Structure 1
Amino acid sequence: MFAAYVTITIVGSVFTAIAAGTYLIGHDYPKAQLDMKRLPHSWMPRLGTLLAAGSLGLQAGFAVPVLGNLAAAGLVLYFIGALIAHLRVGSRQLVGWAIFFATSVAALVVNLGHHGPW
């Protein structure tokens, strides 16, 4: 269980850190996603900051387990919100979302399985 916990947590943290970086540097892909979802570009730094906080929280969970649990739960909620934004505009391009969501759910499951809720 420990190996799965470490591996999934690191993979989830790296995925969300990369996504956060693209939002924070103003890459074209997040801009296109926001346009497709009819959201303002002013949300980019906020969304990037949420992703970065989730990524750092997953890493902090190695030292303070409750932070890892909270970060993983926050990322699951973030990606549920992303799904709602996709469905609101009728987008069926959900492969990227599914990968990030599955990784976040897996991180939450292994964090809770390894440490318990508190």
Structure 2
Amino acid sequence: MSVAYVIVTVLGAVMAGFSAGSVFAGAKYVVEPLAQYGVPRSWWVWLGIAKAAGAAGLLVGLLVPGIGRLAAVGLILYFAGAALTVVRAHHYAHVPFPLIYLAPAAASLVLGLAA
């Protein structure tokens, strides 16, 4: 297990956890765009749970690599879906935000597979 893998994985977990916490807290900078994108309010808690589970999975993956890989794939799919949702809503200037969260999950997967 490389130092780069640990750093990127922890960073990805912190970022996904922060994103989940922002949804749970109803942070204006998160929930207003969700409403603008047309994401039903009934989904918000489930989306936060998915991000929190991904964050936890990345951390568990430091001890159980298979779980970390699955969590990374889940977060990649989640944030790719978020980017597609933003594009579908024609808010193109917001596309980089989910991709910023996707990047450490993807890097974690690549570095984990390379180990």
TM-score, normalised via structure 1 length: 0.91
Offset from partner CA, 1:30-54 (integer Å, 9 cap, x none) = 2112112111122111010000000
- d(CA) in 2 for partners of 1:20, 1:6: 21
Unaligned runs of 5+ in 1: none
Deviates more, 1:50-59 or 1:21-30: 21-30
- d(CA) in 2 for partners of 1:7, 1:44: 29
Structure 1: which amino acid aligns with 2:109?
A: L
Structure 1: which amino acid aligns with 2:32?
A: A
Structure 2: which amino acid aligns with 1:106?
A: A
Offset from partner CA, 1:79-104 (integer Å, 9 cap, x none) = 11101101111111222122112122
Residue of structure 2 equivalent to 1:14: 14
Q: Number of aligned pairs?
A: 114
Report the secondary structure of 2:98's partner residue: helix
Residue 100 of structure 1 pairs with residue 98 of structure 2: no
Indicate if the aligned counterparts of 1:26 and 1:44 stay in contact, CA closer than 8 A: no
Indicate if the aligned counterparts of 2:80 and 2:99 stay in contact, CA closer than 8 A: no
Residue 107 of structure 1 and its aligned partner are, at CA, apart by: 1.4
Residue of structure 2 equivalent to 1:46: 46
- d(CA) in 2 for partners of 1:26, 1:43: 13
- d(CA) in 2 for partners of 1:24, 1:111: 29
Percent of matched pairs sharing the same residue: 38
Moved over 2 A (4+): none
Question: What CA RMSD, in Å, does the superposition of the two structures yield over aligned residues?
Answer: 1.2
- d(CA) in 2 for partners of 1:29, 1:45: 16
Residue 16 of structure 1 and its aligned partner are, at CA, apart by: 0.4
Residue of structure 2 equivalent to 1:56: 56
TM-score, normalised via structure 2 length: 0.93
Residue 89 of structure 1 pairs with residue 93 of structure 2: no
